[in-house]
Structure 1
């Protein structure tokens, strides 16, 4: 939001931002249980292959993203990217109609890769636009509420899938997801039309080399810390995801039951994130700053992984439900990441130059993320093959979470972050 905008325009911009992210996350979370149940059908042993394909695709598409950012205004870039994903969603409809002829495994690999690309590019592009529109002071106030709007979509999405998939079928879910993404695009385009002092600058192409994202991730201190933090913290979430896939493969043989299991996990994760974004995260960001909002989630991960190392693979009763401890670790780790880490880290990106906001951030949240996924799942497969138990794996990862705590602190206090008073 811009100081020269009227209060009415500032309110409209914030409202459109919340609406846009609500529909972005609704679109994604309509699809996610469909993807995850395919992973649960094959178990974690196939995940290294899945992530290897995703990483190759990321490395191929990241320069394309950089090329688009360098040459096209924001409105055209957002419109082109989102419309391309809408077309892809509709194109998947006949594939799912012919699912039995294509084969679940073949379709599962393709769909897993595509949904991962959808998540990383659509969501990452949204937050890059937000970092371009909002200045750092406004971002600390607005981002938790924008993220909370996204959590609303993340709760509605799996509910829609759970309630309608048996009545309408899987192909219809793709159409519903496409409609939600079109609604998000409409809100983003309306927001780009809001008058403000920085309209011309923020709509201009970013320019620069298509390799700037990769260069920045290694050259600038803040982006180096964020790269390392991505490998450490999100690697913990990937570990839990892989172990839950093994659990689902053994305990849920029916596709519908397995889909419902993953939808329930999404509801728990997103419910926790929504509560945090509505209550604790805004208080921490306003009162203590981004440093604590970055550090607290790594401390929570340390505690959760310490519990896994101590108790091992046991089941716990939670509010009348019996869940494996590894599922609770996944819910806790992802819930606090979405509810606290994400708003805090995105507010820090507003204190970086525009090219770093788009290209460096996108490189970290695409190529680096998926390289970490591949590294973690390959290491997990090797460890399980060598007879290493879950308790030992939890102990090692607890140590990594302790390292992540220091990395998070350094990222939030990095010397190359622009001072907040320099609202460039």
Structure 2
């Protein structure tokens, strides 16, 4: 059997544009994420349940609107609408930050935390849903790790821009930079829509024009009644539990160590920069090789194992080790777990991709944040310390790896094209 190229000739344009699209999306997010994170550090982890409760409510309000757009508009129309909505929100914050001396800092910080969190959930979620609708399962195994590198590059450029510009242009200037990047992402969306019309998925030639029926509650009900989707939701919750515990511990460390907003912003950007560089290394050296040759199951299991090992070390070393744990676990979550987990959605129907995935990636995720941070405060009130939190998170990480392995081998998923591994080796 002749060796199959990793990227076919007709796929190159789509891969390059999708790479640029994800670069713009992640760079836009990571330009402003350190601003959000330094606000968390300023108030401490005890206030995080309030932040996450507000974010959860905002998600519940906006998710049905997203579902209504999906139900009414073709993909090439509603995806740009989502991005335009967040550009408008970014612009609305500019005068608020310019007049921040006259606005209560906690109130402005809470509002921006909610905006930044919802931005991350919806903008990134819709990107991967869009990708899953452009390519079939075989293409996803070959192309998703390459496309994900665009996000990795953007995630490196974003915090680097923040570190370079925050003292020169201020927060308001950073919001302008982020808005321009999102505008570039919209241009990429239109280019990919035109490409998909010329190169439709085999056997589903009208996928680009299809309107997905149903709404937000369709995704919620499907998640509850489907054993496979409940497993996906549980997998998301376990991964989120690990990340949220580490985020809370890191916020407390940053607040206690760095006295000024600028120093906390710089620290948060440094964590993002290091984590995202490591994420790119993992994608190049580990994730693509695992997914192309063996599918997503080993990548999901590896992510759980890496997180468990880092948390075990945190229980021993404590203190500044939390920064290293945050870097490694974030890199694994977005460089190993996410490409593997999202590739599973190419093996389910379009209704599931757009409704159930969005419900799990938004409402389930933020509900998990609220539960974990509330439980964090409750356990701390009962006397729990850092080693205890690390042990609980380590249990969640191990469970995530096991459930991820089982989910990837579920008989409820559509069969993969197993010959790709053989073709790569021939």
> Are the aligned partners of 1:221 and 1:414 in contact in 2 as well (CA < 8 Å)?
no
Residue 208 of structure 1: how far off its partner (Å): 2.3
Residue 126 of structure 1: how far off its partner (Å): 0.6
Q: What is the aligned partner in structure 1 of residue 368 from structure 2?
A: 372
CA distance in 2, matches of 1:304, 1:197: 43
Q: What is the aligned partner in structure 1 of residue 416 from structure 2?
A: 420
CA distance in 2, matches of 1:89, 1:50: 19
Residue 175 of structure 1: how far off its partner (Å): 0.5
Residue 235 of structure 1: how far off its partner (Å): 0.9
> Are the aligned partners of 1:240 and 1:327 in contact in 2 as well (CA < 8 Å)?
no
> Are the aligned partners of 2:64 and 2:217 in contact in 1 as well (CA < 8 Å)?
yes
> Are the aligned partners of 2:193 and 2:208 in contact in 1 as well (CA < 8 Å)?
no
CA distance in 2, matches of 1:201, 1:396: 43
Residue 421 of structure 1: how far off its partner (Å): 4.2
> Are the aligned partners of 1:221 and 1:415 in contact in 2 as well (CA < 8 Å)?
no
> Are the aligned partners of 1:220 and 1:416 in contact in 2 as well (CA < 8 Å)?
no
Alignment of 1:310 onto 2:316: yes
Q: What is the aligned partner in structure 2 of residue 247 from structure 1?
A: 253
How is 1:54-203 mapped onto 2 (pairs within 5 angstroms)? 54-194=55-195, 195-198=198-201, 200-203=206-209
> Are the aligned partners of 1:276 and 1:339 in contact in 2 as well (CA < 8 Å)?
yes
Q: What is the aligned partner in structure 1 of residue 237 from structure 2?
A: 231
How many residue pairs end up in the alignment? 407
CA distance in 2, matches of 1:210, 1:235: 24
Q: 1:232 to 1:8 in 2, by over 3 A?
A: same
TM-score by length of 2: 0.93
CA distance in 2, matches of 1:241, 1:193: 40
Residue 8 of structure 1: how far off its partner (Å): 4.6
CA distance in 1, matches of 2:240, 2:149: 20
Q: What is the aligned partner in structure 2 of residue 396 from structure 1?
A: 392
Q: What is the aligned partner in structure 2 of residue 318 from structure 1?
A: none
CA distance in 2, matches of 1:209, 1:41: 38
CA distance in 2, matches of 1:268, 1:414: 35
> Are the aligned partners of 1:63 and 1:211 in contact in 2 as well (CA < 8 Å)?
yes
Counterpart of 1:211 in 2: which secondary structure? helix
TM-score by length of 1: 0.93
- Once the two structures are superposed, what CA deviation does each residue of 1:241-272 show, in whole Å capped at 9, x if it has no partner? 00111111111111111110000000111111
Q: What is the aligned partner in structure 2 of residue 321 from structure 1?
A: none
How is 1:190-339 mapped onto 2 (pairs within 5 angstroms)? 190-194=191-195, 195-198=198-201, 200-311=206-317, 313-314=318-319, 324-339=320-335
CA distance in 2, matches of 1:178, 1:283: 35
> Are the aligned partners of 1:232 and 1:401 in contact in 2 as well (CA < 8 Å)?
yes
Q: What is the aligned partner in structure 1 of residue 49 from structure 2?
A: 48
> Are the aligned partners of 1:26 and 1:156 in contact in 2 as well (CA < 8 Å)?
yes
> Are the aligned partners of 2:76 and 2:193 in contact in 1 as well (CA < 8 Å)?
yes
CA distance in 2, matches of 1:206, 1:360: 12
CA distance in 2, matches of 1:420, 1:223: 18
Q: CA RMSD for the aligned pairs?
A: 1.5
Q: What is the aligned partner in structure 1 of residue 3 from structure 2?
A: none
Residue 7 of structure 1: how far off its partner (Å): 5.1
- Once the two structures are superposed, what CA deviation does each residue of 1:153-201 show, in whole Å capped at 9, x if it has no partner? 0000011111011111110100000000000110111110111234532
Residue 400 of structure 1: how far off its partner (Å): 2.2
Counterpart of 1:193 in 2: which secondary structure? helix
> Are the aligned partners of 2:254 and 2:264 in contact in 1 as well (CA < 8 Å)?
yes
Which shows bigger deviation, 209-218 or 330-339? 209-218
Residue 58 of structure 1: how far off its partner (Å): 1.0
Q: What is the aligned partner in structure 2 of residue 12 from structure 1?
A: 13
> Are the aligned partners of 2:70 and 2:78 in contact in 1 as well (CA < 8 Å)?
yes
